[in-house]
Structure 1
Amino acid sequence: MSRIFGDALHAAFVVPDIDREIARVLALGMGPVFVMRRIRVAARYRGERHDPLITAAFVYSGTMQLEFLQQHDDTPSASIEFLARKPEGGLQHFAYFSDDFDASLQAASAKGQDFDVVQEYIHEDGTPYEIYIEPSNAPGSLLIQLVQHGPLEAMYNRMQEICATWDGTDPVRNAIDLLPKDMQPASEALSC
């Protein structure tokens, strides 16, 4: 996919138990893990508005970011669709930055690969800041996530800096603290 979208940002795993995955990563000596716990995210899934309740966790090893996602409800989403096929969880998507989602999809089509939008995370005005796409000719395959440059990029860069000098203390941290106030989602729990 790098021939179409450039360098990958991360590999993401949808899992049934995120705390187990966080413990496994920490046991490897990777960390700290940055968590957004039990957030309700404004989203569209296959064109219809559905707002899933999720926990997302991020960790770096050098420049490689891993993301782990767990959904806590049965709201229709790409994660629920994935777990219906693979209940034990696993690799769901690779992420790439995009300055313009439509232009990225047109460039992919020009290179012979058409994609369908599966899910979008959206701003209050309904415009997407992340989209999840699948090859038009291969539904059920791994997804591609396109992420807008901007506040999420700054958050990811800060996480990478912190992980590069981690001394083993404070192994689980609140990722929401790294987002600008206007992007901080409502959390349905107080601790990470």
Structure 2
Amino acid sequence: MSRTFGTIRQLGYVVPDIASAITHWVERLEVGPFFYIERQPVNDFTYRGEPSEPEFSVALAQAGPVQVELIQQRNDAPSAFREFTNAGGEGLQHIAYWTTTFGDLVDRAAALGYQELQRGRSGSGGPDERFAYFTAGGHAGTVVEISEVAGRKAALFEAVAVAAAGWDGSDPVRDMTTLVTR
């Protein structure tokens, strides 16, 4: 556990082919089911302080206490994901900490000298769906995401975890929108 941010709750992988990545995780690692959305809604997105409109697909699954997020960016809009792939990266791009005190953790990251890469609001764009990505330098896979998890986003993440706990290997790829419209 990080004394700074708490427990790592998610591993975020940026991949060139999300379908192949899902197949790998399901068939080779037996992690699933994955909840997939072709176009992840993102609101008020900024990258390095400038507005941007990235389009990306996302798949979420749970592996024990950690959520696995697979991300494939579908356009060339500036983002931390595009920066990662442009530098030749593929695979683990960030670790995420979940919080209900978003402002406090963002302030803590800034006070420690972390530099913000991107921020926005996911899902429905609600006031409790904020995220921010930070770097303190270092190597790939150490980008830190602080993700506000409350309301609909918390319900989504809980539903992913519940599905994984009782997963028997059937129906390995599911439509994420069935969880977010409940």
TM range (shorter): 0.7 to 0.9
**Structure-2 change in CA distance of 1:178 and 1:106 (3 Å):** same
Which residue number corresponds to residue 173 of structure 1? 174
Distance 2:179 2:148 in 1: 17
1:49 aligned partner: 51
1:117-176 Cα deviation digits (max 9, x unpaired)? 1111237699971111111xx276521111112121221111111111112221100112
User: Normalization by structure 1: what TM-score?
Assistant: 0.81
Q: Which is further off, 2-11 or 100-109?
A: 100-109
Q: Which residue of 1 aligns with 2:26?
A: 26
Query: Against the structure 1 CA distance between its residues 78 and 109, is the aligned structure 2 distance closer, same or farther, given a 3 Å change threshold?
Result: closer
The one-letter code of the counterpart of 1:18 is: I
CA offset at residue 102 of structure 1? 3.4
Structure 2 residue 118 is the aligned partner of structure 1 residue 104: no
Indicate how the Cα distance of structure 1 residues 127 and 178 shifts in structure 2: closer, same or farther if over 3 A, else same.
closer
Measured against aligned partners, the alpha-carbon deviations of 1:79-102 in whole angstroms (never above 9, x if no partner) come to 000101124x11110001133333
Q: Report the alpha carbon displacement of residue 41 of structure 1 after superposing the two structures with TM.
A: 2.4
Q: Which runs of 5+ in 1 are unaligned?
A: 182-192
Indicate the residue corresponding to 2:67 in structure 1.
Answer: 65
Residue 146 (structure 2) aligns with? 146
**Structure 2 counterpart of 1:122, one-letter code:** R
Conserved 8 A contact 2:128-2:149: no
The runs of 5 or more residues in structure 2 that have no matched partner are: none
Q: Percent identity?
A: 31
Q: Residues 59 and 167 of structure 1: is their aligned pair in 2 closer, same or farther, counting only changes over 3 Å? A: same
CA distance in 2, matches of 1:120, 1:156: 19
Q: Relative to structure 1, is the Cα distance of residues 128 and 57 closer, same or farther in structure 2, using a 3 angstrom cutoff?
A: closer
Which residue number in structure 2 is paired with residue 84 of structure 1? 86
Query: How far has the Cα of 1:26 moved from its partner?
Result: 1.1
- What is the count of residue pairs matched by the alignment? 176
